[in-house]
Chain A
Amino acid sequence: MLSNTGNLILLLNILLSFLIIYYSLKCIRLPNNIISRNIYQLSLLQCTTILICFFTLVAAFLVSDFSLITVYQNSHSLKPIFYKISGTWGNHEGSLLLWVIILTIFSFLFLILNKNHPKNYRLHTLIIQNLLILGFLFFILLNSNPFSFVNPIPKEGLGLNPILQDPALAIHPPLLYIGFVGSSIYFSAAMASMITNYSNKLFAQSIKSWVLISWTFQTLGILVGSIWAYYELGWGGFWFWDPVENASLLPWFAMTALIHSLLVLEKRNSLYFWTIILCLLTFILSVMGTFLVRSGILNSVHTFANDPSRGIYILIFLSLMILTSIFFLFKKYKPANDIINSNSKETFVLINNWFMMFYLITVLLGTLYPIFTDALTSSKISVGPPFYNSVIIPIVIIFLFLMAIGPQTRWIKNKFTNFKNIFYIIAGSIIINFTIVYLFKSYSFISNLIIISSLFLIISSVSDILKTQNINFSRIVSHLSFGFLILFIGLNHNFSEEKDFNLKLGESKKIDNYKFILQDLELTQKSNYKSVVGVLNVNNLSTNEDRTLKPEIRIYDNPQTLTYEASIQTNFLRDYYLTMSNIDRSDYYNIKFQKKPLMIWIWISVIALSFGGFLSLFRNAKNN
């Protein structure tokens, strides 16, 4: 029943998209500047039906309707309700449906919220967005249908992969999708803008909110993914330069560049084509990321079952998108006669863009290089953290300095009057840095520079608040929290401690100034797993602080899997991070203990960073 309902609604949506395109084309020919009512109605209907379609799938998961192959493969009747629901988008088919939902909702909202822009521009955006929607609807129907029927109906489902059964991971895909699928709307708008020659600063205004929304959610999505990796994977890290993590970072760089170049277009009416390129690039990178992840040409921790026919479909879609956008870009491109003074805010924004492009290209090359070598020379290589760290870190230092100076410059022509100030701030940063090094006694040249440059940005941003009357809070919050983010990552990296050893029940071990005792092992039975909980007493000998950490080894039932849950004690100064793994046929347990300073502040900084995006969004909404 649900299978038929779902399929029918999908077909209805295809019909609606065609109708919207048809009526829009008709409406474009009319001489007035009014969009006919039925386009609004169709668009609203399209939103409603796709949501119904989605809730049909959610319902199938809730009642464990194993006649649907997707439900059968990704759920189990004994799963907690929360994970039954999140299972809806925890798989390839369901997540594609989420894609279409976001495409559709953004399409509708863009249509109704941009009433003061020209009709043709809005309708062209709508048409292009609907072409994207159609592409994905056909993909779902023909290749990745979540409503596919399985016969005979299985009695029980296969279950959701246990490491995906985590609250952070339940909200990770929707957040990330709002981010990078949301970028589709300014892809469509950029195409429409080129087609209708709507190339002034009003265009910038029409897409600014959408860029900010997608950027904010992309930031949050990446954060939640990172938090998940930290808590769930049990490696004690939060970023691994995994190809799929990179795939989410690439559009983020493009969006960040776009936010800044939009400022120039909005204020100075220049950099139009560069802005267009960034709009197109962001969504192209998003689709490319999807292609890389779903086609299975990358090996990564994000294991989606691989199916070459999926890959070929997305690849054709991606190629069409790229070639069409390139076609319009080449056709419409006019060399700009933007005269930009080398000492002006415009230049600094451009510098931001160059840096973002540098990061983007670095990460892109690192991600694609193994694919290239494999395809062209059949040799398998992997690009690991050493590559990214050594290329990106030194550049971040310069970036932070410029990021501090940039916002203080003026549009058109700037005059540096505050060299003294800059000097004081640098001196202050250096002093604070060496105080930190002196107090914590750990030294590395590059992390010193990281700490100094991030302090420079922080102090500059704070002094901005004190100095200027007309404060741009959103910018200061974002820049300030970015400074803090890098500072905390630097401090965390430099002052982390790690101990690795084996221990058996009742045994105690002294390492440096810690004493560890494995006091007890508790066996517990939960609804969907059994677990062995270690009770470990950690005594800090220098402060005589006593704390108990309880790492877990979980044995999940459906599918049967072993996972290791870290025990993490967080406070504002540091995290204690402890994982325990069994050594088979031995009484010993392998214990990995880490002290990670200021860990929580890394998360807080990213939340603050995205909060800056929200502030900017509200400010923008208020101004327009």
Chain B
Amino acid sequence: MPKTIKFIVLIVLIFLLGVFFISLNKSTDYNTEHLIGNKLNKIKFESLEHKKIFTEEDFKKNNYTLINFWASWCAPCRIEHPILIKLSKEQNLKILGVNFKDKKINALKFLKDLGNPYDYLAKDTSGKESVNYGIYGIPESILIDNKYIIKKKFIGPLNLKDYDDILEVINSL
């Protein structure tokens, strides 16, 4: 076997094992708790339906905004959907839905079938924008106030306890 091939094979394998080793020593509990209390500096999302960009200006007037990351292909998103519908009836809260790595037609069908809880509907087709918000899986939700400070962060589908927590924050005004 030519030396170069041997060399390349060996380098690739050592690289692979090295990466495994590095990831072992990384904390796997990807903890985004520390983000709570931080300020979102720049909000920028493209609208799903229209040629419009949502920026922080759009959310300034809301007392609280819940940014919910979801997709039509995401099964747990269906589970949390009823909670979002309930939240959408709250006065103090607006909901921004960020449709994550999805097809527009599927996303709209999802909302048509299950109801649309979102006051703003944005998209992140590549999934890159969401990374800036500490999102690593969906569904995830972030509750911010009118100064864009992160009040709460929810990983995984919203449940009844999260619902209570959100109500507590938004009704504490």
C-alpha gap A456/B19 in the complex (Å): 43
Query: Is A312 in contact with chain B by the CB < 8 A criterion?
Result: yes
Q: How many B residues face the partner with a CB closer than 8 A?
A: 35
Query: Is A583 in contact with chain B by the CB < 8 A criterion?
Result: yes
Q: For residue A323, which residues in chain B have a CB less than 8 angstroms away from its CB?
A: 13
Contact digits for A355-394, partner B, Cβ 8 Å, 1 yes 0 no: 0000000000000100110111001111011100000000
Q: Closest A-chain residue to B161, C-beta based?
A: A584
Q: For residue B163, which residues in chain A have a CB less than 8 angstroms away from its CB?
A: 584
Query: Is A235 in contact with chain B by the CB < 8 A criterion?
Result: yes
Q: Is B23 touching A319 in the complex (CB atoms < 8 A)?
A: no
Query: Is B10 in contact with chain A by the CB < 8 A criterion?
Result: yes
Q: For residue A585, which residues in chain B have a CB less than 8 angstroms away from its CB?
A: 160
**Interface residue from A308, A319, A368, A502 paired with B82 (Cβ < 8 Å):** A502
CB distance from A337 to the nearest CB of B (A): 14
Q: Is A235 touching B21 in the complex (CB atoms < 8 A)?
A: no
**Interface residue from B17, B127, B131, B159 paired with A315 (Cβ < 8 Å):** B17
Given A297-B20, A374-B23, A586–B86 Cβ distance below 8 Å? Answer: yes
Query: Is B78 in contact with chain A by the CB < 8 A criterion?
Result: yes
**Interface residue from A333, A371, A501 paired with B23 (Cβ < 8 Å):** A371
**Interface residue from B23, B86, B101 paired with A384 (Cβ < 8 Å):** B101
Q: For residue A311, which residues in chain B have a CB less than 8 angstroms away from its CB?
A: 24
Q: Is A381 touching B131 in the complex (CB atoms < 8 A)?
A: yes
Q: Is B78 touching A385 in the complex (CB atoms < 8 A)?
A: no
CB distance from A286 to the nearest CB of B (A): 15
Q: For residue B127, which residues in chain A have a CB less than 8 angstroms away from its CB?
A: 381-382
Contact digits for A574-598, partner B, Cβ 8 Å, 1 yes 0 no: 0000000101111010101000000
Contact digits for B1-25, partner A, Cβ 8 Å, 1 yes 0 no: 1000010011001001101111111
Contact digits for A59-94, partner B, Cβ 8 Å, 1 yes 0 no: 000000000000000000000000000000000000
Q: For residue A368, which residues in chain B have a CB less than 8 angstroms away from its CB?
A: 16, 19
Q: For residue B13, which residues in chain A have a CB less than 8 angstroms away from its CB?
A: 322-323, 326
Query: Is A196 in contact with chain B by the CB < 8 A criterion?
Result: no
Q: Closest B-chain residue to A236, C-beta based?
A: B75
CB distance from A580 to the nearest CB of B (A): 12
C-alpha gap A412/B137 in the complex (Å): 52
Q: Closest A-chain residue to B13, C-beta based?
A: A322
Query: Is A499 in contact with chain B by the CB < 8 A criterion?
Result: yes
**Interface residue from B16, B19, B28 paired with A299 (Cβ < 8 Å):** B28
Given A326-B10, A380-B131, A581-B79, A375–B22 Cβ distance below 8 Å? Answer: yes
Given A322-B13, A584-B163, A590-B82, A501–B113 Cβ distance below 8 Å? Answer: yes
C-alpha gap A375/B13 in the complex (Å): 16
**Interface residue from A319, A372, A382 paired with B17 (Cβ < 8 Å):** A319
Contact digits for A301-337, partner B, Cβ 8 Å, 1 yes 0 no: 0000010100110010011001100100010010100
Q: For residue B83, which residues in chain A have a CB less than 8 angstroms away from its CB?
A: 583-584
Q: For residue B159, which residues in chain A have a CB less than 8 angstroms away from its CB?
A: 584
Contact digits for B68-80, partner A, Cβ 8 Å, 1 yes 0 no: 0000010100110
CB distance from A301 to the nearest CB of B (A): 11
Q: Is A375 touching B19 in the complex (CB atoms < 8 A)?
A: yes
C-alpha gap A233/B79 in the complex (Å): 12
C-alpha gap A148/B81 in the complex (Å): 44
Q: Is A499 touching B113 in the complex (CB atoms < 8 A)?
A: yes
Given A326-B13, A374-B26, A376-B19, A382–B137 Cβ distance below 8 Å? Answer: yes
Q: What's the dominant secondary structure at chain B's contact region?
A: helix
Contact digits for A434-476, partner B, Cβ 8 Å, 1 yes 0 no: 0000000000000000000000000000000000000000000
Most chain B C-beta atoms within 10 Å of own C-beta, residue among A233, A333, A384: A384
Query: Is A118 in contact with chain B by the CB < 8 A criterion?
Result: no
Q: Closest B-chain residue to A372, C-beta based?
A: B19
C-alpha gap A504/B23 in the complex (Å): 48
B117-159: which have CB < 8 Å to A?
127, 131, 136-137, 159
Q: Closest B-chain residue to A295, C-beta based?
A: B24
C-alpha gap A371/B13 in the complex (Å): 15
CB distance from B3 to the nearest CB of A (A): 10
C-alpha gap A502/B9 in the complex (Å): 56
Q: For residue A299, which residues in chain B have a CB less than 8 angstroms away from its CB?
A: 28, 30, 137
C-alpha gap A380/B136 in the complex (Å): 6
A-B pair number, CB within 8 angstroms:
93
Q: How many A residues face the partner with a CB closer than 8 A?
A: 47
Query: Is B114 in contact with chain A by the CB < 8 A criterion?
Result: yes
Query: Is A507 in contact with chain B by the CB < 8 A criterion?
Result: no
C-alpha gap A592/B22 in the complex (Å): 42
C-alpha gap A222/B38 in the complex (Å): 44
Q: Is A333 touching B1 in the complex (CB atoms < 8 A)?
A: yes
Most chain A C-beta atoms within 10 Å of own C-beta, residue among B6, B9, B19, B23: B23
Given A315-B20, A326-B9, A382-B137, A297–B28 Cβ distance below 8 Å? Answer: yes
C-alpha gap A368/B20 in the complex (Å): 9
C-alpha gap A376/B16 in the complex (Å): 11
B48-76: which have CB < 8 Å to A?
73, 75
C-alpha gap A501/B112 in the complex (Å): 10
C-alpha gap A308/B81 in the complex (Å): 36
C-alpha gap A305/B73 in the complex (Å): 27
Q: Is B23 touching A382 in the complex (CB atoms < 8 A)?
A: no
CB distance from A510 to the nearest CB of B (A): 14
CB distance from B48 to the nearest CB of A (A): 17
Q: Is B160 touching A330 in the complex (CB atoms < 8 A)?
A: no
Q: Is A308 touching B24 in the complex (CB atoms < 8 A)?
A: yes
CB distance from B134 to the nearest CB of A (A): 9
**Interface residue from B17, B75, B160 paired with A322 (Cβ < 8 Å):** B17
C-alpha gap A372/B18 in the complex (Å): 10
**Interface residue from B9, B10, B23, B30 paired with A375 (Cβ < 8 Å):** B23
C-alpha gap A335/B2 in the complex (Å): 10
**Interface residue from B21, B113, B131 paired with A379 (Cβ < 8 Å):** B131
Q: For residue A295, which residues in chain B have a CB less than 8 angstroms away from its CB?
A: 20, 24
C-alpha gap A204/B112 in the complex (Å): 58
Q: Is A375 touching B6 in the complex (CB atoms < 8 A)?
A: no
Q: Closest B-chain residue to A379, C-beta based?
A: B131
Q: For residue B19, which residues in chain A have a CB less than 8 angstroms away from its CB?
A: 368, 371-372, 375-376
Given contacts A375-B19, A380-B30, 8 further A-B contacts (CB under 8 A): A297-B20, A330-B1, A381-B136, A502-B82, A581-B79, A584-B163, A585-B160, A590-B82
Give the interface of B toward A (CB within 8 A).
1, 6, 9-10, 13, 16-17, 19-26, 28, 30, 73, 75, 78-79, 81-83, 86, 101, 113-114, 127, 131, 136-137, 159-160, 163
What are 26 A-B residue pairs whose CB atoms fall within 8 Å in the complex?
A: A237-B75, A291-B20, A296-B28, A297-B28, A312-B21, A315-B24, A318-B17, A322-B13, A326-B10, A368-B19, A371-B20, A374-B23, A375-B19, A375-B23, A375-B26, A376-B19, A380-B30, A381-B127, A381-B131, A384-B73, A501-B113, A502-B82, A583-B82, A585-B160, A590-B79, A592-B78
The 8 closest A-B pairs by CB, nearest first: A584-B160, A380-B136, A235-B75, A583-B82, A375-B22, A375-B23, A297-B23, A311-B24
